[in-house]
Amino acid sequence: MDLLHNTVQPYDWGSRTLLPDLMGVPPTGAPQAELWMGAHPAAPSRVSRGGVLAPLDRVVAAHPEEELGAVTVRRFGPRLPFLLKLLAAEAPLSVQVHPDLAQARAGFAREDALGVPLDAPHRNYRDDQHKPEMIVALTPFRGLCGFRSAADAARLLDSLAVPALRPYAETLRGVSEPLALAEVFRAFLRPPAGLLDAVARALADAAAGPDEARLAAYDAVARAHPGDAGLLSALMLRQVELSPGEALFLGAGVPHAYLSGLGVEIMASSDNVLRCGLTSKHVDAEELARVVRFGAPPARVLTPREEKGEEVYPAPVDDFRLSRYLLRAGGPRRRVTVDAPQILLCTAGTVTVSSGSGERLAIGPGRAVYVPAGAETGLEGAGTAFRATTGAAEHSG
């Protein structure tokens, strides 16, 4: 097992305090948005090998079956199939969707055939993988996720009393649900002149009145991204609030935007993101509209289920499996051996990770340990530990 040395991503929407407060270190004054734990080539974690820090993706590539186990290599190839993060949002993220596996493979091949460089700012598909993801709240966490019903979206537009929104509200009331959502969403990607300013003013007025609780999130979006067409897309999405310990799973084609809070995020190891606004990055409205699933059911807030002493967050994919241990001082050592790679992350207190050879690593909040497949491993201490692994192997807690 290895202590992970991880990279913090300084995206402009990141919090300046949430990650430093969790980890007990002084803030830098700059945004600290995401702490990446895994082997994604964009920012791989590093582990000690022969006294030298080596990128985890290279360690895995050198000995895939030894690091990942035969089941993982057979199912996903010689790569770590999941990426674990601590995500700390202070301002709204972009409204975005992720492709399914078939769309990712087709889009990646198409852009490769066109000769679009992998690092080109306008490239949509940077790999050929899908990107299902899950966020577990560590603090109260707010986001926008999935479409409102057409009727609910129409009522919201009407409540803003902006004359230019009336035709869109009528469309939402007059056409069958998926078609109405699709027509208005696509129209909002290219709004007529003046509409964004009018909506922003209406939100500011409404958020200062009786509708403050219902519209404050959208007013915050408008203030954070003035003149951005993503505001209109955001109005069509449901507001979601997670209490600590609650989770949200996001599948392919579901539009979403996180707004604020600290959470543990896990995803398939991919960088395929299609954005429609609230960002300075590339926006491809046509490709996004092709990938969005307008008839998808709303995402449900999830709570973990007890399985052999661990709390497992259910996800309908096998790229990743996320669970949580609430450890108490003097409690039993929890065995977490499995024929798959693991990352063990402490989010509260102190957690000791031990190996069959007697090695022990005590980690505090924000620190994590990588464990190769099949290594005998245990957890104990007084704190909270999250365990990230794949869903393709047998597990024991």
Residues 207 and 337 in one domain: no
CB 169 within 8 A of CB 286: no
Residues 155 and 173 in one domain: yes
Q: Which two tokens stand for residue 50?
A: 């022969």
Residues 267 and 371 in one domain: no
User: 302, 323, 353 — which closes off a domain?
Assistant: 302
Reduce the DSSP state of residue 267 to 3 states and report it. strand
Confidence of residue 364 (pLDDT cuts 50, 70, 90): very high
Given this model, what pLDDT does residue 380 score? 95
Given this model, what pLDDT does residue 394 score? 59
Residues 130 and 246 in one domain: yes
Helix, strand, coil percentages, rounded to 5, for the chain:
30, 30, 40
Q: What percent of the chain has pLDDT over 90?
A: 84
Q: Which two tokens stand for residue 347?
A: 């989010």
Given this model, what pLDDT does residue 280 score? 84
Q: Between 209 and 13, where is the model more confident?
A: 13
CA angle 216, 262, 325 (to 5 degrees): 135
Query: Please, what's the largest Cα pairwise distance for the chain?
Result: 71
User: 302, 328, 351 — which closes off a domain?
Assistant: 302
Given this model, what pLDDT does residue 395 score? 57
Q: Between 168 and 332, where is the model more confident?
A: 168
Given this model, what pLDDT does residue 210 score? 75
Q: Give residue-wise pLDDT tens across range 182-231.
A: 999 999 999 999 999 999 999 999 878 777 778 889 999 999 999 999 99
End-to-end Cα separation, the chain, in angstroms: 18
Confidence of residue 148 (pLDDT cuts 50, 70, 90): very high
Given this model, what pLDDT does residue 309 score? 82
pLDDT at 296 over 80: no
Q: Which two tokens stand for residue 346?
A: 């402490």
User: 281, 302, 323 — which closes off a domain?
Assistant: 302
Total domains in the chain come to 3
Amino acid identity at 166: R
Domain for residue 83, yes or no? yes
Residues 118 and 254 in one domain: yes
Average pLDDT on 366-389 reads 96
> CB within 8 A of 339, min separation 6: which ones?
69, 70, 71, 373, 374, 393, 394
Burial (0-12, 13-18, 19+ Cβ within 10 Å), 50:
exposed
Buried/exposed 304-323: b ≥16 CB within 10 Å, e otherwise: beeeebbbbbebebbbbbbb
Residues 96 and 181 in one domain: no
Residues 262 and 133 in one domain: yes
Given this model, what pLDDT does residue 138 score? 98
Domain for residue 117, yes or no? yes
Confidence of residue 306 (pLDDT cuts 50, 70, 90): very high
Beta strands per DSSP E along 269-318: 274-277, 301-302, 305-307, 310-313
Beta strands per DSSP E along 69-216: 82-89, 95-97, 133-137, 141-147
Domain for residue 290, yes or no? yes
| Rg, Å, the chain Cα set | 22
Q: How far apart are CA 259 and CA 390, in angstroms?
A: 28
pTM assigned to the model: 0.94
Q: Give residue-wise pLDDT tens across range 73-115.
A: 999 999 999 999 999 999 999 999 999 999 999 999 999 999 9
Residues 385 and 277 in one domain: no
pLDDT at 396 over 70: no
Summary mean pLDDT of the chain: 93
Q: Which two tokens stand for residue 268?
A: 């398939």
Q: How far apart are CA 146 and CA 252, in angstroms?
A: 11
Domain for residue 61, yes or no? no
* Residue with the two structure tokens 């190769």: 372
Q: Give residue-wise pLDDT tens across range 50-77.
A: 889 999 999 999 999 999 999 999 999 9
Average pLDDT on 111-121 reads 94
CB 241 within 8 A of CB 139: no
Query: What residues make up the domain containing 190?
Result: 149-235
Domain for residue 11, yes or no? yes
pLDDT at 324 over 60: yes
Residues 332 and 183 in one domain: no
Specify the range with the lowest mean pLDDT, choosing from 35-49, 87-101, 269-283, 336-350. 269-283
Given this model, what pLDDT does residue 207 score? 78
Confidence of residue 392 (pLDDT cuts 50, 70, 90): confident
Residue 325's CATH number: 2.60.120.10
Catalytic residues: 275
The backbone torsions φ and ψ at residue 134, rounded to the nearest 5 degrees and listed phi first, read -140, 140
Average pLDDT on 36-40 reads 97
Domain for residue 161, yes or no? yes
Residues 213 and 362 in one domain: no
Domain for residue 167, yes or no? yes
Residues 188 and 230 in one domain: yes
Average pLDDT on 9-37 reads 96
Q: Identify which of 397, 251, 241 has the alpha carbon closest to the alpha carbon of residue 320.
A: 251
Domain for residue 331, yes or no? yes
The backbone torsions φ and ψ at residue 240, rounded to the nearest 5 degrees and listed phi first, read -130, 135
Residues 102 and 25 in one domain: yes
